[in-house]
Amino acid sequence: MKILVCMKQVPDTQKVKMDPVKNTLIRKGVPSITNPFDESGLECALEIRESAGGEISVLSMGIPDSECILRDALSLGADRAFLLTDRAFAGADTLATSYTLSMAIKKIGPFDLLVFGKQAIDGDTGQVGPGVASILEYPVITFVTGVHAIQRDRIVVERMVDSGREIVSSGYPVVLTVVKAKKRLRMPRLTTIIDSFEKRVVRLGADDIEAESARCGLKGSPTRVKKVFSPKKHARVRYIEGNAAEQAKALVGVFRGKGIIP
Ligand SMILES: Cc1cc2nc3c(=O)[nH]c(=O)nc-3n(C[C@H](O)[C@H](O)[C@H](O)COP(=O)(O)OP(=O)(O)OC[C@H]3O[C@@H](n4cnc5c(N)ncnc54)[C@H](O)[C@@H]3O)c2cc1C
């Protein structure tokens, strides 16, 4: 089983503040961490390799410093690590990020299983996993909460849906986006830490993955984040009294008053 885990370095949002003048996230001095959903992705991959065997590769697109999250993944037992880093990738929105990751996957693959986090805790769009799947024309299963079975020709997983859970299966290759697992990412063992010293993080630029620079970074991004701000909380609360029918009638009146419903 050839498994790929896409991992993003993100600012520790518990400590992020907004720049009220520039309307951007203040990243300076904020510690960077591995996106927590991607830690669940790596734990999921390690468990699959324990039960079905195989090889785990980890891939990240980011600044040179983000190599540290890949080194952590190697110290936990990942077999190969790739860092997509190039000025041409700067300012990428989710489309450009998905394209660049897809070109790298074509270069370092093929893979049977491609694991993404449900979302990144900074951009929060949840678009990259499905974006890569659509560019590579692979099936995608989102909001995966657990793996039920790994068979020679298919994988059976459980996923979250509005009405609860559902069991889904797919052939290979397939993209999974995983929710945050209850089970935390394991601690690295001394043996895997020592082994990781022999492993290097392979750096890839736009030329290495034969990416069109016009589809990468800011140039390849139809989306511009114009303003990031914390919405002002309005403390106005109104209680609607009466029985259910009276409350419903009053609520319709409020919505009509706000033009929410005709
Ligand atoms: C506050 C903020 C708002 C933004 N809003 C938008 C927006 O509305 N539209 C838009 O197009 N862009 C937006 N961006 C830019 C966006 O963050 C980047 O495009 C980013 O690379 C991917 O989007 P995401 O962070 O939403 O990732 P998500 O789609 O939420 O990430 C899902 C998964 O994809 C994988 N992944 C994501 N990025 C990488 C990476 N660089 N390397 C490896 N794996 C990765 C990880 O497995 C991750 O768990 C925003 C950025 C910020 C900081």
Q: Is residue 224 part of a domain?
A: no
Q: Is residue 199 part of a domain?
A: yes
Q: Is residue 247 part of a domain?
A: no
pLDDT tens track for 33-47:
999 999 999 999 999
Cβ of 11 below 6 Å from ligand 1: no
Decide if pLDDT at 129 tops 80.
yes
51 C-alpha to center of ligand 1: Å? 31
Q: Is residue 175 part of a domain?
A: yes
What CA–CA distance (Å, rounded) separates 70 from 8? Answer: 9
Residue 12: other Cβ atoms inside 10 A: 13
The preferred substitution site among 60, 125, 223 for testing ligand 1, maximizing ligand atoms within 8 Å of CB, is 125
SS3 content of the chain, % helix, strand, coil (to 5): 30, 25, 40
Q: Is the pTM of this model over 0.85?
A: yes
- β-partners of residue 2 are 55
pLDDT tens track for 194-204:
999 999 999 99
Q: What is the DSSP string of 28-94?
A: TTPPEEE-HHHHHHHHHHHHHHHHH--EEEEEEES-GGGHHHHHHHHHTT-SEEEEE--GGGTT--H
Number of H helices, E strands in the chain: 6, 13
Output the domain CATH number for residue 65: 3.40.50.620
Average pLDDT, the chain: 92
Closest CA to 107 of 1, 209, 4, 175: 209
HSE-CB for 11 with a 13 A CA cutoff: 15
70 C-alpha to center of ligand 1: Å? 18
The preferred substitution site among 22, 61, 128, 223 for testing ligand 1, maximizing ligand atoms within 8 Å of CB, is 128
Q: Is residue 167 part of a domain?
A: yes
Q: Is residue 251 part of a domain?
A: no
Tokens of 116: 């993404």
Q: Is residue 116 part of a domain?
A: yes
pLDDT for 75: 97
Decide if pLDDT at 207 tops 90.
yes
The preferred substitution site among 23, 57, 93 for testing ligand 1, maximizing ligand atoms within 8 Å of CB, is 93
Domain containing 207: what range? 2-215
146, 180 contact by CB (below 8 A): no
74 C-alpha to center of ligand 1: Å? 23
Tokens of 77: 């037992």
> What domain count does the chain have?
1
Decide if pLDDT at 233 tops 80.
no
Mean pLDDT value across residues 219-247: 85
Q: CA torsion 63→69→70→72, rounded to 10°?
A: 160
Decide if pLDDT at 170 tops 90.
yes
Q: Is residue 236 part of a domain?
A: no
76 C-alpha to center of ligand 1: Å? 24
Nearest atom in ligand 1 to the alpha carbon of residue 116 is: 47
